[in-house]
Amino acid sequence: MANNKKCEHLTEIEDVLSILNKISIFAGLNDEQLHSLFQLLETIHYDAGETIFEQGDHPSHIYVVRSGRIKLVATQDDTPFELVVFDQGQCFGESSVIGIQPHAATAIAVEETELIALSRQALLSIYETDLALFSTLIMNIARETCRRLRSSSEVLLHYVKKSNNNHNS
């Protein structure tokens, strides 16, 4: 994490499980798997304006917004572009963690925010202890990444078509 925030282990399982059950990368997990996953999760608090990670940082966690909002900002040629805002119950950072690629954007807390985090090391430890859980998580992350890629492609196609129409006018 960019600012070395203190992580705390979660204690209120029912509250967290109700959030995890709504997130696509945790879909299809049975109660035993969800409980195993819960044991590996941490919570991290950020104040408004604090950076979770910076563009170019190496990925260390998958994050779920428990409360608050996070915006992703990519900087190109010294110009910042706000890409997306993640609200309560949304997940981010998962593609970077499994892709082992530096973060493509900076994540910033828009307001006071609490995140649920699964570290890369914890995710890899699941491989050793529960291969079925690990496989489901990786497959779900791949599906979510594909959904986001398709959405990005549609937005890009929209702008290409718009640009072509403007040049043909």
In this structure, what CATH number is given to the domain that contains residue 118? Answer: 2.60.120.10
Q: What is the pLDDT of residues 89-147, one digit of tens each?
A: 899 998 888 888 899 999 999 999 999 999 999 999 999 999 999 999 999 888 888 88
Counted domains in the chain: 1
Q: Is residue 168 situated within a structural domain?
A: no
Answer whether residue 34 is part of any domain: yes
What's the whole-model pTM score? 0.80
Interval 23-66: pLDDT, tens:
888 888 888 998 899 899 999 999 999 999 999 999 999 999 99
d(CA 124, CA 12): 24
Residue 2 is assigned to a structural domain of this protein: no
The answer to whether residue 137 is domain-embedded is: yes
Angle of CA points 120, 96, 20, to nearest 5°: 65
109 phi/psi in degrees, rounded to 5: -70, 125
Q: β-pairing, 106-109 with 91-92?
A: unpaired
Give a yes or no: residue 1 inside a domain.
Answer: no
What DSSP designation does 87 have? Answer: -
Main-chain phi, psi angles of 134, to 5 degrees: -60, -45
Q: Which range of residues forms the domain containing residue 97? A: 8-163
For residue 169, being part of any structural domain is answered with: no
Residue 4 has pLDDT above 70, yes or no: no
